[in-house]
Copies of this chain bind each other. A is one copy, B any other.
Amino acid sequence: MARSTLFRAVLALAAAALAAGAEGARGRAGASRLLAWRGGRTEKVAVIGSGNWGSAIAKIVGQNVLDKPGFDKEVRMYVYQEKVNGRDLTEIINTEHENVKYLKGVKFTENVVACADVGEAAAGATLLIFVTPHQFLGSLCKPIKGRCARGARACSLIKGIEFDANGPVLISDIIKKKMGGMDVSVLMGANVANEVARDEFCESTVGYRKEANGRAWQRVFDCPTFRVSKIKDVAGVELCGALKNVVALGAGFCDGLGLGGNTKAAIIRVGLGETIQFCKMFYGGIKDQTFLESCGVADLVTTCFGGRNRKCAEAFAKAGGKSGWDKIEKEMLNGQKLQGTITAQDVAKVLRKKGVAHKFPLLSKIHQIAFEGAPVTDIVKF
């Protein structure tokens, strides 16, 4: 089978990284063994969420369960019901196989079935993909818990972070708690939803706690255009996915001010440095290799050049910081919410509470510009 250069490059790196703790989809043992179905029960996958990213991943997963053995061929997707041109969104998806509101122009395989009832979506599922804004988890987890299969495992694709009196709280830990101790992996990486949906090549990283579950999730997601490696570092992988959205706001401010690539590269570099520092300050077991995986440097780069947080921050800067985020989201995101602004606020609270904001000057300044009236130009007044 002919394989592309980049794919082989990824394989070589993955092989090299094995010793360092990261495992590529086709590491030493070869494709057929590592990703082959080892038998056992049939897995049934459900996707909880159907926004831009949820729809893109449902497209990937819908195809994968058809292509690989060991999966129930139906993938249910929970859809928050709304009317589009007078029709229920679920009805549109189930007849036209397209989420016309959040991922227009991309067809699902027909085995992807939209459900407006989250319990029905999760019924019998052994593998639950969480891909909703994290503020909706509270109301969703209870009905899922009552209906999913015994021994089900979860994977969070949610990019964000919560916090409590003791510091940051991983979304994966919130899901774990709400789901009665369920094992929760995470999937993060350089994967802007629209590009993934168009089958453009990209990579992603599964962060796992239990090896068998990391392998199971790798099988669910990995396909020729969406290459998934895995690493035993849930916190590092998840925090990369959260913090890069904040750094992307800074990159967007640069773009809005019309600055050059040097400045933006400096912001990306400093942002990566503060991300590493944040992870190690609040969690143990963080692996350096995590930041060189797709979830680290690659996701940061692609988000700082292509994602919605960058785009909205650019608009914010062009409006001189006078346009509110709600207005920008409404005008530019068709009803979707920015994660970067939510995360920037949460991170700022955590850092201030712990008295370490001065050690994270970039993340802190982005918050001040975004929410406290600091002039946008502050980020580049050298």
Contacts and interface: CB of A to CB of B under 8 A. Distances in A.
A262 B200 contact: yes
Interface string A191-209: 1100110101111000000
A361 B9 contact: yes
A260 interface: yes
Contacts of A381: 2, 4-5
Copies per assembly: 2
Nearest to A13: B273
A375 to B, nearest CB: 11
Contacts of A265: 190, 202, 294, 298-299, 301-302, 305
Contacts of A272: 292, 297
Interface in A3-32: 3-13, 16-17
A225 interface: yes
A337 interface: no
B195 A261 contact: yes
A260 to B, nearest CB: 4
A60 B190 CA distance: 36
Contact of A292 (B192, B269, B301, B358): B269
Interface string A285-313: 00010001110011101100110000000
Interface in A345-382: 358-362, 365, 378-382
A298 B362 contact: no
A365 B305 CA distance: 25
Given A292-B269, A297-B269, A297-B297, A260 B10 contact: no
A11 B263 CA distance: 15
Contact of A305 (B203, B274, B305): B305
B263 A201 contact: yes
B266 A203 contact: yes
Contact of A263 (B13, B200, B224, B359): B200
A362 B277 CA distance: 30
Interface string A201-228: 1110000000000000000000011010
B266 A382 contact: no
Contacts of A195: 260-263
Given A201-B382, A379-B4, A273 B301 contact: no
B382 A273 contact: no
A319 interface: no
B6 A266 contact: yes
A358 B12 CA distance: 8
Contacts of A268: 297-298, 301
Give 5 closest A-B pairs by Cβ, nearest first: A202-B262, A261-B306, A5-B365, A265-B302, A269-B298
17 contacts: A5-B381, A6-B382, A10-B266, A13-B274, A17-B273, A192-B260, A192-B262, A196-B262, A200-B260, A200-B263, A201-B380, A227-B266, A261-B306, A264-B301, A265-B305, A272-B297, A276-B292
